[in-house]
Amino acid sequence: LSWKEEAKKRVAAEAVGHVKNGYIVGLGSGSTVAYAISNLSRKIKEEKLDVLCVPSSYQSSFIAVKEKIPLTTLDEYPILDLAIDGADQIDKKLNLIKGEGAALAREKIVASSAKKLIIIADETKLTANLGLDHHVPIEVLPFGAKFVLNRILKSGWKATLREGKGKVGPVITDNGNFIIDADFGIIKDPRELEMKLKNIPGIVETGLFIGMVDLAYIGTKAGKIQKLEKK
Amino acid sequence: LSWKEEAKKRVAAEAVGHVKNGYIVGLGSGSTVAYAISNLSRKIKEEKLDVLCVPSSYQSSFIAVKEKIPLTTLDEYPILDLAIDGADQIDKKLNLIKGEGAALAREKIVASSAKKLIIIADETKLTANLGLDHHVPIEVLPFGAKFVLNRILKSGWKATLREGKGKVGPVITDNGNFIIDADFGIIKDPRELEMKLKNIPGIVETGLFIGMVDLAYIGTKAGKIQKLEKK
């Protein structure tokens, strides 16, 4: 395994260490969360834990089913004890950009439903400047895609409709919507940008996760874990 | 026809009077807009106008097709010259509650795409207090419905998931989502409420239309038209 995969495995294990018997756990999406799901599966078997999980995407649901983790839904358990998720970019204030995997809307709902949100990532995701060399994925209603795209472009930013792979035309999210990738450059006030975007009709959710994270484990190339906590 | 239907027809004709040759027109939804579509169809034929319309729902699309009005999309024409829509409640500041027909998200996108938005309604829709004896429809992702419902209930308001007719279970919108009807009582600061709601993950759009209307025609029981203009 590369150092990055080793780092992901390490922080995944660290996060899963927070899971206690009786917990309802929200599962994020992506390659780092996949390690956490495998790790959690072993832990549940070894410690004979009574744990139920709520996946935030078909991807994490499929992995959880394969790993024989008992699943539930937010309808049954609207309050989660813990959610574990990854990030595409994370700054020292624990603000995130998410959505490379197009699962941002369900991830945000799962994260918001959890008493505690732990983010796991390798150190390439850590940035001093949120948005630097990184676009912000935005989920939009198909009907409003062109309108939202124009609104963002007219504000002087860059944005493109994300193309799908394995299908013609645009990506369709698990919710049946489109993804717009918008480039805002360095985001000095992510909360203000989030509110501006949310005010545009047609935007279902943005990949900006502001003030939501309680704890982050960052796996370094040197083989350590950097712990970042909410202040 | 009852006085209400007469009033709707009257304001529909008044709004259609604003349509000029070459216009791209956004069509809202609902029973009052249905009169406007019929009226516009006659006008297009009689005056041989070159007009294209963008419907905001399957309902208005079906009526427009029946009335042989040429249709287009926001993809082709992202800027509309005019949009005509109805309202469930309208106050003197021209703020609206919409969404009885569950078409609020597309209606808001169409309204936002238009250079001018004209609202038509009978006088029973006019209120001194937005929200008084009237719920606010909110479109939500099915995955987030319970979470949003709980979030609204925990804030001390009332809210229910809207049941469908002609199908079991909840209403499914034209976008494939659910509708929550929330009762906030009299809404003193609709803009603030709108921002609060938009901040809840899972909410796709709300039925609050704030500061969007340029002109409203209100049909009275006495057979007149009350004209309200944006200040």
Tell me the two tokens of residue A63.
């992995």
**Pairing of β B52-55 and β A158-161:** unpaired
The pLDDT of residue A185 is: 96
| CA-wise closest residue to A66 among A16, A27, A106, A9 | A27
Average pLDDT per 10 consecutive residues for chain A, totaling 231 residues: 96 98 98 98 98 98 98 96 98 97 98 98 97 97 96 96 95 97 97 96 98 98 97 84
List of chain B residues whose C-beta atoms are within 8 Å of the C-beta of residue A112: 147, 200-202
List of chain B residues whose C-beta atoms are within 8 Å of the C-beta of residue A153: none
Q: Give the pLDDT confidence of B140-151 residue by residue, as tens digits.
A: 999 999 999 999
- Tokens 């007219």 locate to A154
Chain A nearest-CA residue for B80? A147
So what's the ipTM on this one?
Answer: 0.92
List of chain A residues whose C-beta atoms are within 8 Å of the C-beta of residue B200: 112
Is the separation of the CB atoms in B118 and B214 below 8 Å? yes
Tell me the two tokens of residue B52.
């294209």
A109 touches chain B (CB under 8 A): yes
Is the separation of the CB atoms in B151 and B118 below 8 Å? no
B62 touches chain A (CB under 8 A): no
* A19: CB partners within 8 A, 6+ apart: A25, A40, A43, A49, A51, A82
Q: Give the pLDDT confidence of B85-140 residue by residue, as tens digits.
A: 999 999 999 999 999 999 999 999 999 999 999 999 999 999 999 999 999 999 99
The pLDDT of residue A98 is: 98
Exposed/middle/buried for residue A67 (C-beta within 10 Å: 0-12, 13-18, 19+): middle
Q: Tally A–B CB contacts below 8 A.
A: 84
Sign of CA dihedral A39, A42, A47, A48: positive
Low-confidence ranges of chain B (pLDDT < 50): none
The pLDDT of residue A137 is: 98
The pLDDT of residue B231 is: 84
